[in-house]
Amino acid sequence: MKDGIILIDKLAGMTSFGVVARVRRVLSQQQGKKVKVGHTGTLDPFATGLMILVVGKECKNAGSYSKLDKVYQATIRLGQTSTTGDPEGEITDISDAVPDINEIEAVLAKFRGAIFQRPPIYSAIKIDGQRAYKLARQGQTVEMPEREVTIHELTVINYNYPEINIQAHVSSGTYIRTLAADIGAALGTGAYCTQLRRISIADWNVAQADTLADMGVID
């Protein structure tokens, strides 16, 4: 491939930049010259699922892909919070209250449609030219401005306390880690996201994607 897109099913534990670097290396080796490769939106290291990579001249169109709607499946753990909103942060016990499914459905209803969301400080958003997560790791105070996002669909797949499995169809810029924390706050239990998988981006589905192993990447 010289110009176009590649669909990758990212594994947990790898950064999005790491995925790009590995694919760039393989394509460059195949073509005997350095190949330009970029991503169209990061996935957290703990997350899995669909990434759209742009190759060659298609890199100039990366922004158009990043603006597309996405569908995620996530596991939310009630009763605790995390400083990062995921398993990698400092976990704090908040409550042992056990909400019933009706309470959960009532809270989820409040998050459907257009909402304002404050992205997590541990994110790749740039603040004054620097990544927010780098500033946070340095112990600096990071003020994240709220942004309007749209939750098109938000459904419970399964609930077995303390875990809720959800599926969310969301606009670009929506953070599922923040959504999980906000749901926990609304329930009064606290919550964080323990698992996250991106299922689709617009009409592209993770079922169409290759893994790095499929591409011959061996680490």
CATH number of domain containing 107: 3.30.2350.10
Residues 139 and 41 in one domain: no
Query: What is the per-residue pLDDT for 125?
Result: 63
Q: What's the domain count of the chain?
A: 2
Strand, coil or helix: what is 118?
coil
In a domain? residue 142: yes
Torsion of CA 124, 125, 129, 134, to 10 degrees: -40
Query: What is the per-residue pLDDT for 144?
Result: 72
145 DSSP assignment: P
Query: What is the per-residue pLDDT for 146?
Result: 86
Q: How far apart are CA 192 and CA 142, in angstroms?
A: 20
Task: Indicate which residue of 3, 9, 44, 219 is catalytic.
Answer: 44
Global pTM reads: 0.90
Residues 63 and 80 in one domain: no
Q: How far apart are CA 214 and CA 218, in angstroms?
A: 10
- For each successive 10 residues of the chain (219 residues), what is the average pLDDT? 90 94 93 93 93 96 95 98 92 97 98 92 63 63 82 98 98 95 98 98 97 83
In a domain? residue 20: yes
44 belongs to the catalytic site: yes
Structural domain of 143: 70-201
Residues 133 and 117 in one domain: yes
In a domain? residue 62: yes
Q: Which helix (H) or strand (E) holds 114?
A: strand 113-117
